């Protein structure tokens, strides 16, 4: 129960063991779920790099996915430090740490980016220019990460979405009706324990399943990379508009959910709203309005927000990844009142200077409401890259850190407003956002670009917030 949270936090932080001079991770639970409460886990943006040891690629290429673990175990492949995607060693360490926290999860969410950055280019440089070969290798790599998720958590259902890197064609080039989607969908259907929801997955990468524990609630998973500003159907598979297809499908699914008197949680990779990182980078080069960068095409953002207004009360929560940082956004209704909270979970990949992380969530099994979260991170990445035992520890729990009652849209919106005026708390948020990075993204100069993105999701709202402060 929550009255035990302070105790558990202290116990978790304090309980350490010495093993060959290195702290071993504690297994003291951070949450003690009460009646009708449960836990779920979010892991995201692993960006698994099977090329970390290029000498293994020929063997991996020839081997079925079932043989990959033995290949990696037989090599001297190790954890890589900042600026690199996740090697086999880091990926396994993260998943083992998530499974070892002394907590039982009801389900696991994976919000995209299974494949390493520049996957296609690296494959061609390593294995030669072979379009069929890269498709097969991309499928097998995505299946392998999915398999590890399934093997690590046993019979616990796993629900995933594809990220912008998850393509046999290239970054932001997910191809509809492709062999890649078909190959990935088969594995995911098994992991979900609800294969019937994957009938349409091979077309655009979306599916709908019933929530594993919450009555009268659905999980709707979107491949929303099609909405991203950088998306291009370079493979030219059908010449259609997959972004529009996904939006239409989402409308249909939400209508069905609403008519049945149910609610829905949405999974996606790319979050809605402004890309604060890119906006901050261009803030000093152009006028305020011109410098604003959105994650999605504006018309897709507009259409999506209209769906959220249309199905207000039906969409309960949204989950995303992509930024590699630990954040959130709030979708407000047309009058500016908080409507839906979007959770953005930090990545396992340390490629952007953040420390690898994952998050555990406490929720209400009756309503599906998200009550609290705890972020765990790798405290000694550089030492682990040099051969030390990886040390995963609790970074913080949300409610006690920010003094909020829960993770609802209203609480998130209240926190966003508090951060604008509370400088010490804002500094704390900035450190946690980048998962204790030595070079955090947010600083006093660019704060407004990030602060406005928290609760100003539409372009007009973000423009008003950002430009009025300049």
**What is residue 287's predicted lDDT score, i.e. its pLDDT?**
81
**3-state class (DSSP) for residue 103:** coil
463 versus 18: the higher-pLDDT residue is 463
Instruction: Please report, for residues 337, 365, 401, 428, the alpha-carbon distance to residue 405 in angstroms, rounded to integers and kept in the order given.
Output: 18, 17, 11, 18
- Whether residue 195 has pLDDT greater than 70: yes
Q: Give percent above pLDDT 70 in the chain.
A: 92
**What is residue 239's predicted lDDT score, i.e. its pLDDT?**
64
Weakest mean pLDDT among 125-129, 207-211, 238-242, 321-325 = 238-242
pTM for this prediction: 0.92
For the ranges 44-48, 72-76, 103-107, 168-172, the one whose mean pLDDT is highest: 44-48
- Whether residue 36 has pLDDT greater than 70: yes
**What is residue 285's predicted lDDT score, i.e. its pLDDT?**
63
Query: Which residues, at least 6 apart from 199, have a Cβ–Cβ distance to it below 8 Å?
Result: none
- Domain 2-468 sits in CATH at 3.60.21.10
Distance in angstroms (rounded) separating the CA atoms of residues 46 and 34:
31
**3-state class (DSSP) for residue 19:** strand
Average pLDDT rounded to a whole number, residues 183-191: 94
What the block records as the tokens of 368 is 């599906």
**What is residue 101's predicted lDDT score, i.e. its pLDDT?**
84
Ordered by start, the domain boundaries in the chain are 2-468
Pairing, β 338-344 against β 327-332: antiparallel
**What is residue 20's predicted lDDT score, i.e. its pLDDT?**
30
Query: Which residues, at least 6 apart from 434, have a Cβ–Cβ distance to it below 8 Å?
Result: 325, 326, 353, 354, 440, 441, 442
Distance in angstroms (rounded) separating the CA atoms of residues 410 and 404:
10
- Whether residue 15 has pLDDT greater than 50: no
CB atoms within 10 A of CB 35: 7
Question: What digits encode the pLDDT tens for the residues 278-313?
Answer: 999 987 666 888 899 999 999 999 999 999 999 999
Query: Nearest to residue 412, comparing CAs of 453, 358, 460?
Result: 453
DSSP states of 154-199 = TTS-EEE---TT--SS-TT-PPTT-HHHHHHHHHHHHHHT-GGGGT
- Whether residue 9 has pLDDT greater than 50: no
Average pLDDT rounded to a whole number, residues 18-30: 47
**What is residue 469's predicted lDDT score, i.e. its pLDDT?**
67
Q: Give percent above pLDDT 90 in the chain.
A: 80
Distance in angstroms (rounded) separating the CA atoms of residues 275 and 441:
13
Question: What digits encode the pLDDT tens for the residues 126-135?
Answer: 887 776 789 9
Average pLDDT rounded to a whole number, residues 33-37: 93
Query: Which residues, at least 6 apart from 260, have a Cβ–Cβ distance to it below 8 Å?
Result: 216
- Whether residue 18 has pLDDT greater than 70: no
- Whether residue 17 has pLDDT greater than 80: no
Weakest mean pLDDT among 129-133, 212-216, 333-337, 457-461 = 129-133
Query: Nearest to residue 253, comparing CAs of 293, 209, 212?
Result: 209
Report the mean per-residue pLDDT for the chain.
90
Q: Give me the residue label for tokens 């740490």.
A: 97
**What is residue 460's predicted lDDT score, i.e. its pLDDT?**
94
**What is residue 127's predicted lDDT score, i.e. its pLDDT?**
84
Q: Terminus-to-terminus CA distance in the chain, angstroms?
A: 45
Element containing residue 144 per DSSP (H, E): helix 131-153
Question: What digits encode the pLDDT tens for the residues 232-270?
Answer: 876 766 667 899 999 999 999 999 999 999 999 999 999
> DSSP class of residue 221?
E
């Amino acid at each position: 129960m929550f009255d035990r949270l302070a105790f558990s936090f202290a116990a978790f932080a304090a309980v350490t063991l010495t093993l060959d001079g290195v702290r071993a991770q504690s297994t003291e639970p951070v949450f003690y779920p009460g009646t009708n409460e449960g836990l779920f886990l979010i892991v995201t943006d692993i960006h698994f790099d099977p090329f970390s040891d290029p000498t293994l690629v020929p063997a991996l290429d020839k081997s079925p996915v079932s043989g990959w673990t033995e290949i990696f175990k037989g090599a001297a492949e190790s954890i890589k430090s900042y600026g690199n995607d996740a090697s086999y060693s880091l990926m396994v360490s993260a998943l083992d740490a998530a499974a070892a926290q002394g907590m039982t999860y009801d389900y696991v969410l994976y919000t995209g980016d299974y494949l390493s950055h520049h996957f296609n280019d690296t494959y061609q440089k390593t294995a030669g220019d072979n379009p069929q070969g890269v498709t097969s290798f991309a499928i097998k790599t995505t299946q392998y990460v999915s398999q590890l998720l399934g093997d690590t958590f046993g019979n616990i259902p796993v629900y995933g979405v594809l990220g912008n890197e998850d393509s046999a064609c290239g970054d932001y080039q997910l191809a509809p009706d492709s062999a890649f989607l078909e190959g990935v969908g088969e594995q995911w259907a098994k992991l979900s324990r609800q294969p019937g929801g994957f009938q349409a997955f091979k077309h655009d990468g979306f599916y709908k399943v019933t929530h594993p524990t919450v009555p009268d609630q659905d999980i709707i998973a979107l491949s929303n990379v099609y909405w991203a500003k950088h998306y291009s159907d370079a493979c030219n598979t059908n010449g259609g508009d997959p972004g529009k297809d996904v939006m239409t499908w989402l409308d249909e699914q939400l209508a069905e959910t609403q008519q049945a008197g149910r609610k829905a949680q949405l999974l996606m990779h790319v979050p809605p709203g402004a890309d604060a990182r890119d906006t901050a980078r261009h803030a000093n080069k152009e006028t305020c309005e011109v410098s604003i960068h959105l994650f999605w095409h504006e018309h897709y953002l507009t259409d999506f927000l209209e769906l959220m207004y249309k199905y207000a009360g039906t969409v309960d929560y949204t989950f995303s990844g992509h930024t590699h940082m630990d954040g959130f956004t709030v979708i407000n209704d047309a009058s500016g009142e908080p409507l839906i909270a979007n959770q953005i979970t930090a990545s396992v990949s340390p490629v952007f200077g953040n420390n690898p992380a994952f998050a555990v969530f406490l929720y209400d099994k009756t309503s599906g409401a998200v009550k609290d979260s705890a972020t765990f991170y790798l405290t000694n990445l550089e030492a682990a890259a040099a051969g030390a035992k990886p040390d995963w520890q609790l970074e913080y729990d949300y409610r006690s850190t920010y003094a909020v009652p829960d993770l609802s849209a209203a609480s998130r919106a209240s926190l966003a407003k508090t951060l604008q005026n509370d400088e010490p708390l804002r500094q704390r948020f900035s450190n946690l956002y980048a998962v204790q990075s030595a070079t955090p993204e947010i600083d006093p100069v660019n704060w407004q670009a990030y602060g406005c993105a928290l609760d100003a999701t539409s372009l007009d709202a973000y423009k008003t917030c950002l430009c009025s402060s300049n």
